[in-house]
Structure 1
Amino acid sequence: MGVASLSLLTLALLVGSPGSRADAADRDQGSYQGVASCAGSTCHGRMEADGAVVRQDELMRWQEPSTPGGAHSRAFSVLSGARARQIAATLGLGDPTASQSCTGCHATPTGGSRGARFQQGDGVGCEACHGPSSGWIASHYAVGASHAANVSRGMVALDQPATRAAVCLDCHFGSSRPGQFASHRLYSAGHPRISFELDLFSTMQQHHDEDADYVRRKGRPDSARTWAVGQAMAVNRALTLYATPRGSEGAFPEFAFFDCHSCHRKIYDQEDRVKTWESNPGRPIPAGMPPFNDENMILLGAAARVAAPDMATRFDSDSRAFHTALGKDRASAIAAGQRLAATASGLASALSAGSGGGDTAFAMVDAIAGPATVPRFTDYEGSVQAVMAIDTLLNALVKQGRITLGAAAGIRANINRAYAAVRDPNDYRGPAFRASLAEAVRSIRVLR
C-alpha cells in the first residue's frame, strides 16, 4: 500500500482465538438496524459534542470526510471508483458494489437479517463493530442501563482488547467468512496492501471520550496492552487461516501470507550480482526463499519479553520452528504453525490479563529497539509495523502522564522521519530505516 502518512493506512481484513465474538454465527443472530437508527439528535446525531454521558456527535465524526476517522463511512463509496472497477473487471467480479468479494469488507457484513433502515451504501457502519443492534438498541440508553447488560443482549464488548482485535481483524487481515480475505490475486489486480495495528488504528477511529464516566463504566483503557494483544491476535489469525484451504492457491502457496517485498524488488541483470534481500536471524530458511510475513511475530516477541517473559522463550522457539518448517513442506509448516498459533493465543490471554502501568510502555519501546529485535527489521512490512508500534507506545506514555504532550510533540519529528523511511515500499532501505527508528527511540529514552 505504501505508508505516505497515517491517513493513508488502509482499512481492509481470527478464527478460534480468545476474545472473538464467540462465533460468527452468534453475531448474526440479531437484526441489523442501520446507521439511521443511531442518528437522532437525542442519540448520536448531534453536531456538537455536548452530551451528558457520551459525546452524541459520533455520527458526524464517523462521517468526517477528510480524516482517517471517516474512513469507515467512505468504505463503500470507493467501490464506485475507477480503481475498484478495474480490479473487479480484472478478476471477473462484475459490479464491485454488488460483489460479495468487495462488500464483505467495504460494507457492514450482515449474515443476519436487516431492518428497514439498513443501507448497504452506508459503508462500514456502527453495527459492523458494535454488532447487530436489534437486541440492545432500545435498552442501551435506558435509565440504569449498564455496559454488561448491553453486552448480554448482543452488543460487542469492544472495550476488551482481544474482542476488539477479533472484530477488526475480520476486515483488516482476513477471516473464514465470505468476502473477507485479501488474496494475492486481489493484490495483483491492484488492491492496496493491507496493514493494521490495533491501538493506533483504534485511536484514528475513536468516536468517544475516555473520560471519568467512561472509566467508571468500562475501566481505564491501556494502550500498551491493546497494542500487544493486537499483535498476538494478528499472529494467531494469520497462522490459523494459513492452516485452512486458504493457505494454497492451485499449485502455489497463497502468497498473501508471505512477505511481498522479498520478491517484489527491482531485478537487474549485470556482470556483478546485486543481492536485494537481507539475511534475517529470526528466519532459519534457505537463502532466497520467500519468507512468511512475520511483521506481527517480530513485534509480539518484543512485547512478550516485557509483559510475559515466562512465555517469550517458547514463542521465539516456536516462531523459529515455523520458519524452519516452511523450508520442508506444507504439512510440516501447518503443524508448526498451529503450535505457534496456540502459543500466540496463550500470549493474547496473558497480555489481556496483564497491566501496562509503570514502565511497561518504556520497556516495550526498549525491546522493539533492542539487539534481539532490530536485526529482524530487514523487510518493509516489519518496519512499517515497528514505527506504528513506537508511535502508539509514545501515545500510551502521554495518556499515562509519563510524558507531557509538549515533550511528545518534540519527538514527533523523529517519529515522522521513521515514517518517511517507509514511505515508499519501492525505495525501502533497511539500514536507513533502522537508523531512523533508533533516533526516534533515543528521543523517547531521554524522557524516561
Structure 2
Amino acid sequence: MVSRLSLGMCGIAVLALAVFLPSSGETSAEPSVRSQSLDVKPTEPDKFVGSQSCSSTSCHGSLSGLRDPKQIRFDEYHVWLSDPHARAYETLFAERSRHIFQNLGLLKDGGNVIPEQQDTFASTWRKCQACHDTPRSIEHPTTVFLNEGVGCEACHGPASRWLHRHYRSQWKSLSHQEKAEFGLINTADSQFAASRCGECHVGGPGREVGHDLIAAGHPALRFEWTWYRRRMPRHWRQAEADAALKTDPRGDWLTGQIAGLEATLDLMTTRFENAQSSDSPFDLADYSCFACHHDLESSTWRVDQELRTDRGTGNVLVPWSPWTASLLVELARRDNSDKAIAFAKSYDQLAALMESGLFLEDRSDEIATAIRGCKERLHAWSRQIQTNSSGVATRWLHALGRGQESKDVSISWNLATQLFLALASPYRDAPEDAPEELTQLRDLLSFPSKSDAIYESPFEFGKARNESPSRQEQAWSLIRNVAKWDRMTPSDWAEENSNSKNRD
C-alpha cells in the first residue's frame, strides 16, 4: 500500500484551463404536453443570462450549504467562485498568456499589440474567449460576459427559458428530456457530461488548440475525464455521485475515452469538410509529438514512432496518434463483437490515410469520408457497450494480469500512460489501497526533469541502448503486476500487503 500515489496527471498530462460550451441545435424548441404547463413559448429563443442570475441567497448563493440532500446544495455559486473555471478568463492576462501572444508574433515585448497584427490579434483573442469565457448568445459564441470565466451556463445551457421555471414545483416532476426542451443540460449523465467537457478540453469548431498554439506555449490538450472531474470542486450532491462511480469506475473511465475520441473526430471533420485551398486541414497537433521532438543522442521509445520519409514517393510519414485512441482501439480489437471489429477496422483505415503522407491536400475528401465512417462505427460500438463498458475494459486488463496479450502489442508512451490511467481509476478516491507497482509505473512514465531541455518529453522511455530490461519492458512488467492486483478484492489487497510487509 502506498499513500504517495498521485492519481492525477502530474507530469503525464497537462490540465488546460478551458471547458465546454453548448452547441446550437441541441435543445428542442417544441415542448412536450407535460412541459406546456410551465407556459413555455415554442418560439422563445435560447439566451444566456450570466452566472449572477444564479447567485441569490435563496437559490444557489447561500452560504449555509446543503438543506435538502435530495435536492440542490444551495451553495453552488460560491463553490463555483473557487473553481478554476471561474478564473479561466483571468488566465488570458497571465504572464504565460502574454508570452504565447508574443511567440505568435502578435504582441511586442511591452505587451502592446503590433499595429499591423491588429486584425489577427482580434480573431485569435476571440478564439481564446470561446473556451475561457461564457458566450452571450448561441449565434455569436465569441461575444462573451467579460470577466465571468466559464460560468454556469457554459455547462448547464443557456438559462433564458428555464431560469424562471426551474424552481417551480411542477419542474421537479419533469424528466431530464423534458427539462432539456427548455434548454437545461443533463450534466448528471456521465456520457453527455464527458462530451461537453471534450468540446474545449479536446476541441471543437472554433475552439481548437493547434500546433501553432502549442508551439507558442499553450499546453497540449490531454483530456482524461475521470481525473478532470475529480479535480473539480464539488458543487453537486457528492454522496450520490460517489456511489455511482464506485460501482463502475472503469466504465466511467471508458466513457471518457470514447468522448475524447469523438471530440477529436468531430474537430477533424470540421477541418477536412470545410477545407479551403489556402488553409490546410492537416494539423501537426493530430500527430505524435515525439516523432519529431525527441533526443537525437539516444535510441529510446522513438524507434518505432519516428518521422520518416517514403523512399518511393518522398512523402513525409508521421505516426497519427490521437491521445485517447491508443488503448480504446486495442480494447475494440479484443471485444469480438461485430460493431467493435467494424470500428477497429474503420480506425485503421483512417490511420493509414492520415499516415500516408503529411499535408497531402488532394486526399482531403477521402479522409473526410473515412472520418465520418469511423465516427459512425465508434458511436454504434459505444451504444452497444453502454451497459457493460466496465467489462469490456476489464477483460483485457485481466488478460494482462495473466501474462497474456503483451507480446503482440508494441507499447508506446501514450498506450502505457492510458493503461496506467485505466488501472488507476478504481483507486482515485483511495490511493492508500493502490499497489506499489502503480506508483512505480507512474514514475517510469513521468517526464524526467532536464534543466537544459527545450521541451518536455519521455526521452528516457523505451529501448535504451545500454539498459536491460528496457523501460518498455519494465512498463509491461509493472502493468501485468498491477493488473493482477486489479483482480483482487479489497480484503485480498489488505492480506497481500500484510504478507508483503512481513516478507520485507
**Interval of TM-score (by shorter of Structure 1 and Structure 2):** 0.7 to 0.9
Deviations 1:160-215 (A, max 9, x none): 33322331111011111x3x000110111110111112233223324212546999
Unaligned regions of 5+ residues in structure 1, if any?
65-69, 399-404
**Higher mean displacement: 340-349 or 423-432:** 423-432
Matched, 1:258 2:264: no
Partner of 1:342: 376
Identify if the C-alpha distance between structure 1 residues 364 and 57 changes in structure 2 by more than 3 Å, giving closer, same or farther.
farther
In structure 2, distance between residues paired with 1:80 and 1:89: 13
Unaligned regions of 5+ residues in structure 2, if any?
1-7, 30-43, 108-112, 114-120, 448-455, 463-471, 493-504
Deviations 1:362-403 (A, max 9, x none): 4364368785578657444444333223233445xx8xxxxx
Where do 1:27-426 residues align within 5 Å? Answer: 29-52=45-68, 53-64=71-82, 70-92=83-105, 99-112=125-138, 119-146=145-172, 147-148=175-176, 149-176=178-205, 178=206, 180-205=207-232, 206-211=234-239, 222-245=248-271, 250=279, 253-268=282-297, 274=299, 277-279=302-304, 289-304=317-332, 309-328=337-356, 330=360, 331=363, 332-352=366-386, 354-356=387-389, 362-363=394-395, 365-366=397-398, 372=405, 378-395=411-428, 405=430, 409-411=432-434, 413-424=436-447, 425-426=456-457
Larger radius of gyration: 2
Which amino acid is 2:73 matched to? R
Identify if the C-alpha distance between structure 1 residues 219 and 320 changes in structure 2 by more than 3 Å, giving closer, same or farther.
closer
In structure 2, distance between residues paired with 1:291 and 1:49: 50
What is the Cα deviation at residue 128 of structure 1?
0.7
What is the Cα deviation at residue 137 of structure 1?
1.8
What is the Cα deviation at residue 226 of structure 1?
3.5
**Higher mean displacement: 221-230 or 242-251:** 242-251
Deviations 1:3-49 (A, max 9, x none): 4269953344799xxxx957369799422222222122222223343
Partner of 1:10: 16
TM-score using structure 1 length: 0.76
Which amino acid is 2:322 matched to? D
In structure 1, distance between residues paired with 2:260 and 2:15: 17
**Higher mean displacement: 228-237 or 24-33:** 24-33
In structure 2, distance between residues paired with 1:60 and 1:154: 23
Which amino acid is 2:304 matched to? S
Q: CA RMSD in A?
A: 4.1
Q: Is the 1:308–1:347 Cα contact (8 Å) retained in structure 2?
A: no
SS at match of 1:112: coil
Q: Is the 1:174–1:182 Cα contact (8 Å) retained in structure 2?
A: yes
In structure 2, distance between residues paired with 1:7 and 1:313: 29
Which amino acid is 1:426 matched to? S
TM-score using structure 2 length: 0.69
In structure 2, distance between residues paired with 1:245 and 1:132: 27
SS at match of 2:150: coil
What is the Cα deviation at residue 107 of structure 1?
1.1
SS at match of 1:301: helix
In structure 2, distance between residues paired with 1:342 and 1:277: 32
Deviations 1:54-84 (A, max 9, x none): 22232333333xxxxx221221111111110
In structure 1, distance between residues paired with 2:299 and 2:331: 35
Identify if the C-alpha distance between structure 1 residues 7 and 38 changes in structure 2 by more than 3 Å, giving closer, same or farther.
farther
Aligned residues: 411
